[in-house]
Structure 1
Amino acid sequence: MPTVTLAEDIRQRLGDCSPAERKVGRILLAGWPAAGFETIATLAERADVSAPTVIRFVNRLGYRGFPDFQAALRTELDERHASPVTLYSAGNYKAAGSDSADVQAGAAGLLAHGRKVFTAAVDRTLAEVTPHDLDRAVQLLADPKRRITLAGGRFTNLFAQYLGLHLMQVRDNVRFLPDRAVERTALLASLARRDVLVVFDYRRYEEDKVTVAELVKEAGGRVVLFTDTWLSPVSTHAEVVFSSQVGAPSPYDSLVPTLAVVESVVAGLISELGDRAHQHMRHSEEIATRSGLT
């Protein structure tokens, strides 16, 4: 599974650095990831430190030198933009053999591997969610004065729909980002301070999600982001960021940990709304029954 990203590693280690080294770390983070590919001399000048300080900083991160650090950054960026095709090629996946015993052995091994991968991924993902972020997301989604808009990507639109349908059962003013240009334009033009955008954006990130998040923030609204460990560019505009592990026994990123986070948010929302959620659910059920929609 992916380890801590380089940017996150830098953030976590700043407290252990000397004042001069912290300057280097902050310059790197402020211009991430492009700043990581600048020369030692350029970074030193921008941070107002010596070149040896830059080298000491990357040594503190565990790298033999600056070229070693830059090589690790290139590898991480390749992973950040990896597609199922490139993951398939790198993983050397093989089809099960035709012999029934091989198929059974393969299936047993796959289940054992899947149990290990998915259990560890869910455990690590939930362990890295901070109580503050979960509380803040719940507060935003529970506020009856706020209007919720959900958006997803190629596969993650399923999760936007899943979370949105749950929200619709317990509160009003929930909608999905439209696909048609005229409808989407009308929605984006009407954004205001009371709007909350919930967006799911995973590697091979989609540029339109960044634009929508920018517009929400410019209007004074809030953004809640579900993403992977490499962090969508939307994270720059998000008040709450939920990052999930995506390791899987296939060339496709796993969304199992993301579902666990979504379910945790739903549980928190039900608890926060209390009787209001129950009343809304009962009213919705009555309308559905009268309309023959149950």
Structure 2
Amino acid sequence: MASVTLAEDIRQRLGECSPAERKVGRVLLAGWPAAGFETIATLAERADVSAPTVIRFVNRLGYRGFPDFQTALRAELDERHASPLTLYTSGGYGAATDGDPDTRGGPAGLLGRGREVFTAAVDRTLAEVPPHDLERAVQLLADPKRHITLVGGRFTNLLAQYLGLHLMQLRDDVRLLPDRAVERTAHLAALGRRDVLVVFDYRRYEDDKVTMAELARDAGGRVILFTDTWLSPVSTQAEVVLSSQVGAPSPYDSLVPTLAVVETVVAGIIATLGDTAHRHMQRGEETARRAGLT
């Protein structure tokens, strides 16, 4: 299970810092993660503080010095960009034996390990979702004046579709970003102030998602991001960031905790829309029956 990221640790500790140390923290966060690899002198100059202040700041975070902090940052970035292939090798999945804790006991042992990992991941994810981000996501997605577009990645497009299908049953003006280049281009070019772009982006982040978010923001729209604990680069463009744990008993990142967040958001939308959602569902059922689509 991933621990709190360095960026999140900095955010949480800013209140403990002196005013000068807070300047260092804010400069680091504003240029994260690249700012973490600058020299002490450069960082001090950008924050308008002394070099010793930078060192005191990283000491407060629990590091012996700035090189120690940068080593931890490099390790976190390696983890942030890990792929199933690298996790397969580093986790020893290809060398599993009867003594391996993930395989001991056959199916019963595997089920026990799955229960342990998934229960902990879902519990921690829901405990760490910021209430104000959840509330804002529900507000934006339930607003009938908003046009909703959803897009995901290699695997997470399944979650974009899952959320999108639920929204289509509850409200109008919901669509998945088209796959074909001409249609996708036309849709992105038409984004405006009433648009909400919902992005699912997890490690091995996709550059096109950042561009899409920038286009939405440039047009005056809003961005909701579902991501992992290392945070997609889209987070710099997003008004709402809903992060999830991804721990799994395999080298593949789990989408189970994200699905729990998605279904929590759906529950909030249903509660917000009330009878409006109910009537929309009824119209949908009637239309499906008449069209022979049930």
Q: TM above 0.5, one fold?
A: yes
The Cα shift of 1:107 comes to 2.3
What does residue range 133-152 of structure 1 map to in structure 2 within 5 Å? Answer: 133-152=133-152
C-alpha change, 1:224 and 1:26, in structure 2 (3 Å) is same
- CA deviations 1:222-278 (Å, max 9, x no partner) are 111100001011111111110000011110000100000000011111111111111
| Matches of 1:88 and 1:18, distance apart in 2 | 43
| Matches of 1:293 and 1:124, distance apart in 2 | 40
Structure 2 length normalisation: TM-score? Answer: 0.96
Native 8 Å contact 2:103 2:110 kept in 1? no
Match of 1:108 in 2: 108
CA-based RMSD: 1.5
| Matches of 1:65 and 1:108, distance apart in 2 | 46
| Matches of 2:130 and 2:49, distance apart in 1 | 34
Native 8 Å contact 1:144 1:172 kept in 2? yes
Deviation larger for 185-194 or 41-50? 41-50
| Matches of 1:25 and 1:250, distance apart in 2 | 35
What does residue range 1-294 of structure 1 map to in structure 2 within 5 Å? Answer: 1-94=1-94, 105-294=105-294
| Matches of 1:177 and 1:274, distance apart in 2 | 27
Structure 1 length normalisation: TM-score? Answer: 0.96
The Cα shift of 1:103 comes to 7.2
C-alpha change, 1:49 and 1:181, in structure 2 (3 Å) is same
| Matches of 2:289 and 2:97, distance apart in 1 | 51
| Matches of 2:282 and 2:170, distance apart in 1 | 9
Native 8 Å contact 1:24 1:47 kept in 2? yes
Native 8 Å contact 1:228 1:246 kept in 2? yes
Unaligned runs of 5+ in 2: none
The Cα shift of 1:183 comes to 0.3
C-alpha change, 1:95 and 1:69, in structure 2 (3 Å) is closer
The Cα shift of 1:106 comes to 2.9
**Residue type at the aligned position of 2:30:** A
- CA deviations 1:96-128 (Å, max 9, x no partner) are 669xxx978132222212111111110111011
Determine what percentage of the aligned residue pairs are the same residue.
82
C-alpha change, 1:36 and 1:104, in structure 2 (3 Å) is closer
The Cα shift of 1:23 comes to 1.5
Paired residue total: 291
Native 8 Å contact 2:88 2:94 kept in 1? no
Native 8 Å contact 2:103 2:109 kept in 1? no
Native 8 Å contact 2:152 2:199 kept in 1? yes
Local SS of the residue matching 1:56: helix
